[in-house]
Structure 1
Amino acid sequence: MNRRTAVSLAVVASAALLLPGCTGTGGSSKGADAKAPDDPSKVSGTIKVLTVRTDLVQDGTLKKYAAEFNKTYPKVKVEFEGLTNYEAEVKIRMNTENYGDVLLIPAVIKKADYPKFFASLGTQAERSKKYRFTDYTTVDGKVYGQSPVGVSPGFIYNKRIWKEAGVTEWPTTPAEFLDALKAIKSRTDAIPYYTNFAAGWTLSGWTSVNGSVHCDPGATDKLADGDPWAKGADLRVGDTLLYDIVKEGLIEKDPTTSNWEESKPRTAKGEIATQWLGTWAIVQFQDAAKKAGVNPDDIGFMPFPAQVGGRFCAPVGPDYNQGVNVHSQHKEAARAWIDWFTDKSGYVEDNLAIPPVKGAPLPAVMKPYEDAGVKFIEVDDTKGAQVKQIDNQSEVGIFAPEYRKNLVDLARGARKGTLDGFLGDLSKRWTDAQKNLGS
Structure 2
Amino acid sequence: MKKRFRAAGLLAATATAALVLSGCSDPGAGGTESSAPAAWPAQDTSLDGVSLTVWAAQNSNKIPDSVVAGFEELTGASVEVVTIPDPYEQSVQTKVASGDKPDLAFWQPTASMLTALNASTNLQSLDGAPFIDSYKSELRDITGILDDTRYAALITTPAVEGVYYNKQVFADAGITDLPANWDEFLEVARSLKSDGVTPFFDFGGGTPWATQWWVQVQLADAAKDGLWDRVNAGEEKFTDETIQGAIDEYDSLIKEGLFNENLKTATFEDQGAALLSGDAAMAVQVNSFFGQLQSLADTAELDEKIGFFPISPSGNVGTFIPDQSNALVAFKTGDATREAAARQLLTYWLGDGYGDFVEAQSTPSLQDGVDTPAGVPQALLDVSASLSDSVGSMQALAIVNPDLYLNLGDMIQGTKSTAEVGQTTQDQFAQLAQAIGASGF
With structure 2 as the length reference, what TM-score do the two structures score? 0.75
Q: Identity of paired residues, percent? A: 16
Indicate yes or no: 2:53 matched with 1:48.
Answer: yes
Instruction: Give, in whole Å, the separation in 2 of the partners of 1:87 and 1:162.
Output: 39
Among candidates 166, 188, 191, match of residue 183 of structure 1? 191
**Matched position secondary structure for 2:82:** strand
The equivalences for 1:49-128 within 5 A come to: 49-52=54-57, 54-55=58-59, 57=61, 62-71=64-73, 73-83=74-84, 84-105=86-107, 110=115, 113-123=118-128
Aligned residue in 2 for 1:312 = 316
Residues 343-394 of structure 1, C-alpha deviation per residue, up to 9 Å, x if partnerless? 51555566666655478778753665799x9961354999946x32xx6xxx
* CA gap 1:43/1:128 in 2 versus in 1, 3 angstroms: same
C-alpha separation between the residues in 2 aligned to 1:236 and 1:102?
Answer: 39
Match of 2:22 in 1: 22
Q: Distance in 1 between matches of 2:147 and 2:253?
A: 44
TM-superposed CA distance for 1:295, in Å, is: 4.4
Question: 1:342: how far off?
Answer: 3.9
Q: Against the structure 1 CA distance between its residues 404 and 145, is the aligned structure 2 distance closer, same or farther, given a 3 Å change threshold? A: same
Whole-angstrom distance in 1 between the partners of 2:392 and 2:316: 15
CA drift of 1:246 comes to: 1.0
Change (3 A) 1:266 1:341: farther
User: In the alignment, which of 144, 155, 174 is matched to residue 163 of structure 2?
Assistant: 155
Letter in 1 for 2:154: S
Structure 2: how far apart are the matches of 1:184 and 1:41? Answer: 60
Distance 2:370 2:282 in 1: 29
Distance 1:190 1:380 in 2: 27
Equivalent in 312, 325, 328 of residue 322 of structure 1: 328
Q: Does the C-alpha gap of structure 1 residues 29 and 42 become closer, same or farther in structure 2, counting only changes over 3 Å?
A: closer
SS in 2 for 1:22: helix
Q: Call closer, same or farther: CA 1:312–1:302 in 2, change over 3 Å.
A: same
Task: Report deviation, 1:63.
Answer: 2.9
Residue type of the alignment partner of 1:407 = M
Change (3 A) 1:333 1:383: closer
Counterpart of 2:310 in structure 1 is 303
> Structure 2: which amino acid aligns with 1:166?
G
Once the two structures are superposed, residues 145-187 of structure 1 have per-residue CA deviations (whole angstroms, 9 ceiling, x without a partner) of 2221222211222221233233332323434323322333343
Q: Which residue of 1 aligns with 2:180?
A: 172
CA 337–204 in structure 1, closer or farther in 2 if over 3 Å, else same: farther
**Structure 1: how far apart are the matches of 2:384 and 2:59?**
31
8 Å CA contact 1:289, 1:296 repeated in 2:
no
- Per-residue CA shift, 1:401-421, capped at 9, x if unaligned? 222113333xxxx2475x4x4
Distance 1:112 1:218, change over 3 A: farther
- Aligned-pair Cα RMSD in Å: 4.2
Contact 1:26-1:94 within 8 A present in 2 as well? yes
**Residue 245 of structure 1, CA deviation:** 2.2
C-alpha distance 424-162 of structure 1, shift in aligned 2 (>3 A): same
Q: For residues 31-52 of structure 1, what are the alpha-carbon distances to aligned partners after superposition, in whole Å with 9 as ceiling and x for unaligned? A: 4666421251423422111112
1:155–1:274 CA contact under 8 A, matched in 2: yes
* Alignment match of 1:222 (pick from 225, 230, 234): 230
**2-side partners of 1:283 and 1:349: how far apart?**
17
CA offsets 1:74-116 (integer angstroms, 9 cap, x no match)? 3122211223321222122113433221113476663682121
Aligned pairs for 1:341-356 (under 5 A) are: 341-343=349-351, 344=354, 347=357, 356=366
Matches within 5 A, 1:287-298: 287-290=295-298, 294-298=301-305
Does the alignment pair 1:271 with 2:276? no
Q: Secondary structure at the match of 1:213?
A: helix
